[in-house]
Amino acid sequence: MDLLRLNWDATIAYCEELAAKARGYGPDFIVGISRGGLVPARVLSDLLGVNAMGILGISFYKAMGKPSDFPVISQDLTMDIKGKRVLIVDDIADTGRSLAVAKDYVLRKGAKEVKVATIHYKPDSIFKPDYFIGSTTAWVVYPWERNEVERELEKKKK
Protein backbone atom coordinates (compact mmCIF):
# COMPACT_ATOMS: atom_id res chain seq x y z
CA MET A 1 0.00 0.00 0.00
CA ASP A 2 1.41 3.36 -1.04
CA LEU A 3 1.34 5.99 1.70
CA LEU A 4 1.21 9.74 1.22
CA ARG A 5 2.27 11.36 4.49
CA LEU A 6 1.35 15.00 5.00
CA ASN A 7 2.70 17.41 7.58
CA TRP A 8 0.73 20.19 9.27
CA ASP A 9 2.04 22.98 7.01
CA ALA A 10 1.04 21.16 3.82
CA THR A 11 -2.34 20.24 5.26
CA ILE A 12 -3.12 23.81 6.33
CA ALA A 13 -2.05 25.05 2.88
CA TYR A 14 -4.44 22.53 1.30
CA CYS A 15 -7.23 23.73 3.61
CA GLU A 16 -6.53 27.34 2.57
CA GLU A 17 -6.85 26.31 -1.10
CA LEU A 18 -10.04 24.41 -0.29
CA ALA A 19 -11.51 27.45 1.49
CA ALA A 20 -10.71 29.62 -1.53
CA LYS A 21 -12.66 27.21 -3.74
CA ALA A 22 -15.64 26.98 -1.36
CA ARG A 23 -15.78 30.71 -0.56
CA GLY A 24 -18.11 31.45 -3.49
CA TYR A 25 -20.63 28.94 -2.18
CA GLY A 26 -21.09 30.92 1.03
CA PRO A 27 -22.23 28.19 3.43
CA ASP A 28 -24.34 29.01 6.49
CA PHE A 29 -23.30 25.85 8.27
CA ILE A 30 -20.37 23.41 8.21
CA VAL A 31 -20.71 19.72 9.00
CA GLY A 32 -17.51 17.88 9.85
CA ILE A 33 -17.49 14.15 9.25
CA SER A 34 -16.08 12.41 12.30
CA ARG A 35 -13.33 11.52 12.60
CA GLY A 36 -11.20 12.42 9.59
CA GLY A 37 -13.08 15.58 8.68
CA LEU A 38 -13.09 17.23 12.10
CA VAL A 39 -9.79 19.10 11.80
CA PRO A 40 -10.33 20.32 8.21
CA ALA A 41 -13.92 21.33 9.08
CA ARG A 42 -12.67 23.46 11.98
CA VAL A 43 -9.96 25.03 9.82
CA LEU A 44 -12.49 25.80 7.06
CA SER A 45 -14.86 27.23 9.67
CA ASP A 46 -12.14 29.67 10.66
CA LEU A 47 -11.05 30.50 7.11
CA LEU A 48 -14.61 30.99 5.82
CA GLY A 49 -15.85 32.81 8.94
CA VAL A 50 -18.64 30.29 9.49
CA ASN A 51 -19.15 29.73 13.22
CA ALA A 52 -22.18 27.44 12.86
CA MET A 53 -20.70 23.98 12.85
CA GLY A 54 -21.72 20.45 13.75
CA ILE A 55 -20.41 16.90 13.72
CA LEU A 56 -21.82 13.90 11.89
CA GLY A 57 -20.25 10.60 12.91
CA ILE A 58 -19.99 7.93 10.23
CA SER A 59 -18.33 4.58 10.87
CA PHE A 60 -17.04 2.72 7.86
CA TYR A 61 -13.48 1.43 8.19
CA LYS A 62 -12.68 -1.61 10.35
CA ALA A 63 -8.96 -1.07 9.87
CA MET A 64 -6.61 0.82 7.57
CA GLY A 65 -7.72 0.09 4.00
CA LYS A 66 -10.49 -2.30 5.15
CA PRO A 67 -13.99 -0.84 4.85
CA SER A 68 -17.10 -2.41 6.35
CA ASP A 69 -19.99 -3.43 4.13
CA PHE A 70 -21.80 -0.11 4.46
CA PRO A 71 -21.24 3.22 6.24
CA VAL A 72 -23.27 3.64 9.43
CA ILE A 73 -24.23 6.92 11.10
CA SER A 74 -22.71 6.62 14.56
CA GLN A 75 -23.41 10.17 15.75
CA ASP A 76 -26.44 12.17 14.67
CA LEU A 77 -26.19 15.81 13.75
CA THR A 78 -28.13 17.50 16.54
CA MET A 79 -28.25 21.04 15.16
CA ASP A 80 -31.14 22.43 13.15
CA ILE A 81 -30.02 22.87 9.56
CA LYS A 82 -33.42 23.36 7.94
CA GLY A 83 -33.21 25.90 5.15
CA LYS A 84 -29.42 26.28 5.48
CA ARG A 85 -26.67 26.10 2.89
CA VAL A 86 -24.48 23.32 4.29
CA LEU A 87 -20.87 22.47 3.51
CA ILE A 88 -19.95 18.89 4.44
CA VAL A 89 -16.22 18.52 5.09
CA ASP A 90 -14.13 15.36 5.23
CA ASP A 91 -10.46 14.63 4.75
CA ILE A 92 -10.76 12.41 1.68
CA ALA A 93 -13.27 10.94 -0.75
CA ASP A 94 -11.89 7.40 -0.65
CA THR A 95 -14.66 4.99 -1.67
CA GLY A 96 -17.12 7.91 -1.55
CA ARG A 97 -19.73 5.82 0.21
CA SER A 98 -19.55 7.75 3.51
CA LEU A 99 -19.92 11.05 1.67
CA ALA A 100 -22.96 9.80 -0.25
CA VAL A 101 -24.56 8.73 3.05
CA ALA A 102 -23.66 12.07 4.66
CA LYS A 103 -25.10 14.17 1.84
CA ASP A 104 -28.33 12.18 1.77
CA TYR A 105 -28.64 12.48 5.56
CA VAL A 106 -28.08 16.25 5.56
CA LEU A 107 -30.64 16.74 2.78
CA ARG A 108 -33.17 14.65 4.73
CA LYS A 109 -32.53 16.91 7.75
CA GLY A 110 -33.87 19.80 5.64
CA ALA A 111 -30.80 21.60 4.32
CA LYS A 112 -31.66 23.97 1.48
CA GLU A 113 -28.47 23.18 -0.41
CA VAL A 114 -25.50 20.89 0.25
CA LYS A 115 -21.96 20.94 -1.12
CA VAL A 116 -19.10 18.65 -0.17
CA ALA A 117 -15.42 19.53 0.32
CA THR A 118 -12.51 17.17 0.87
CA ILE A 119 -8.79 17.71 0.82
CA HIS A 120 -8.20 14.68 -1.41
CA TYR A 121 -10.23 12.68 -3.90
CA LYS A 122 -9.53 9.17 -5.11
CA PRO A 123 -10.37 8.60 -8.78
CA ASP A 124 -12.21 5.33 -8.00
CA SER A 125 -14.56 7.05 -5.53
CA ILE A 126 -18.27 6.69 -6.30
CA PHE A 127 -18.78 10.26 -5.05
CA LYS A 128 -16.94 13.28 -6.44
CA PRO A 129 -16.83 16.22 -4.01
CA ASP A 130 -17.80 19.67 -5.21
CA TYR A 131 -14.45 20.95 -3.95
CA PHE A 132 -11.17 19.09 -3.48
CA ILE A 133 -7.48 19.89 -3.84
CA GLY A 134 -5.55 16.75 -4.72
CA SER A 135 -6.24 13.44 -6.39
CA THR A 136 -4.36 10.32 -5.34
CA THR A 137 -4.56 6.55 -5.23
CA ALA A 138 -2.33 6.38 -2.13
CA TRP A 139 -3.50 5.94 1.45
CA VAL A 140 -3.17 9.49 2.78
CA VAL A 141 -1.80 9.91 6.29
CA TYR A 142 -2.92 13.24 7.71
CA PRO A 143 -1.03 14.73 10.67
CA TRP A 144 -3.92 14.12 13.09
CA GLU A 145 -3.81 10.35 12.46
CA ARG A 146 -0.06 9.76 12.25
CA ASN A 147 0.17 7.66 15.43
CA GLU A 148 -2.96 5.67 14.63
CA VAL A 149 -1.53 4.70 11.23
CA GLU A 150 1.81 3.75 12.77
CA ARG A 151 0.01 1.44 15.23
CA GLU A 152 -1.93 -0.16 12.34
CA LEU A 153 1.26 -0.70 10.34
CA GLU A 154 2.93 -2.23 13.39
CA LYS A 155 -0.02 -4.67 13.78
CA LYS A 156 0.30 -5.71 10.15
CA LYS A 157 4.01 -6.55 10.66
CA LYS A 158 3.22 -8.96 13.52
The set of catalytic residues is 94
Q: How many CB atoms neighbour CB 8 within 10 A?
A: 11
Residue type at 118 in one-letter notation: T
Q: Are 70 and 61 in contact (CB under 8 A)?
A: no
Annotate 53-64 with three-state secondary structure.
Answer: EEEEEEEEEEEC
Q: Are 69 and 60 in contact (CB under 8 A)?
A: no
Residue 89, judged by CB atoms within 10 A of its CB (0-12, 13-18, 19+), counts as buried
Among 105, 92, 129, smallest CA distance to 54 is for 105
Q: Are 89 and 31 in contact (CB under 8 A)?
A: yes
Q: How many CB atoms neighbour CB 116 within 10 A?
A: 26
